[in-house]
Amino acid sequence: MSKTIFQKIADREIPAKIEHEDEHCLVVHDIQPQAPVHLLIVPKKVVPRVGDATPADQALLGHLLLIAGMVARKLELRQGFRLVINHGPHACESVPHLHIHLLGQRQMSWPPG
């Protein structure tokens, strides 16, 4: 199985603008932003999709959400932000490696999609 683009970014095989990194995840700027702030919170452990996560991934999933909040505070997204996780082709998933989109600095609409 070949590496995902996120694995290649974590391994520094592909450049990316990294906003945050720790032992569990990376936060990178999306190369096709859909909002003035559009970051991807990516676990270093490959979990193909959120629906493929297991009970052993519980702490990692919680960590990703805590990092999302930390980064949103750092970027002063006081008016709000949106977190999005896509799962599968009908959700427009483009990379089979769990990641959370953090979008902000514009008014979001509802329903999404």
Reading across the β-sheet that carries 37-43, which strands appear in turn? Answer: 18-21, 25-29, 37-43, 100-104, 81-84
User: For residues 96 and 33, is the Cβ–Cβ distance under 8 A?
Assistant: no
Indicate if 99 belongs to the active site. yes
Q: Active site residue: 29, 90, 97, 99, which one?
A: 99
User: For residues 28 and 12, is the Cβ–Cβ distance under 8 A?
Assistant: no
Q: CA geometry: angle at 98 spanning 101 and 100, to 5°? A: 15
d(CA 70, CA 5): 24
Q: Which residues belong to the active site?
A: 99
